[in-house]
Amino acid sequence: MKLKDIIINEEEDVNDGRIPKPAVLYEGPEFNKMDFTCSGCIFFSRDDRCEILKPYNVKTVDGCNLWVGGEPKFHGEPLELVPKEVAGFLEGQQGFTCGRCKHFHQIKETGLGECEIVQGPVRREGCCNAFEYATTARPLDRETAPKY
């Protein structure tokens, strides 16, 4: 079962089968801190530890679905509240932006794009919890691109 089969927001138009942005915690470029990696998260510690993940060892380039952008606010020993598997932890390679996701289709010559999973326009510098690394970028043809 996929996430979009579980989460339905009746107030959104879901006729196209894609998930509303709030359901996948989409964050636009204005929230982008260090490409949505651990180093830009408030739960990160300078000694490569996460305050809430279990086990707590992380690298600056890693990321997870519990990411909250801002200056690290580490306050002591890690709490180890959430297993990495549950948090959707990924070892980083190059950041976690839409432009690096396999579901993102770039609209040529703009920062806007379309997502196979998330409704509405998305920006290549944004990110959400449906992120999966792409192997190659796939630009949209102008004639088939959505008009925003």
Instruction: Provide the number of structural domains found in the chain.
Output: 2
∠ CA 88-91-92, nearest 5°, is 115
- In a shared domain, residues 45 and 88: yes
N residues, the chain: 148
Cβ-count burial of 65 within 10 angstroms (0-12 exposed, 13-18 middle, 19+ buried)?
middle
Is 136 part of a structural domain of the chain?
yes
- In a shared domain, residues 104 and 88: no
Report the phi/psi class of residue 147: left, alpha or beta, with left for phi > 0 and alpha for psi in -120 to 50.
Answer: beta
- In a shared domain, residues 101 and 134: yes
pLDDT of residue 109: 72
Which residue(s) pair with 90 in the sheet? 63
- In a shared domain, residues 87 and 50: yes
pLDDT of residue 127: 94
Domain around 114: 17-26+97-140
- In a shared domain, residues 78 and 130: no
- In a shared domain, residues 88 and 135: no
Where the chain has pLDDT below 50, the residues are 1-13, 137, 139-148
Residue where a domain terminates, one of 93, 108, 131: 93
pLDDT in tens, 129-144: 899 888 764 544 444 4
- In a shared domain, residues 71 and 59: yes
pLDDT in tens, 35-55: 899 989 999 987 899 999 999
- In a shared domain, residues 52 and 65: yes
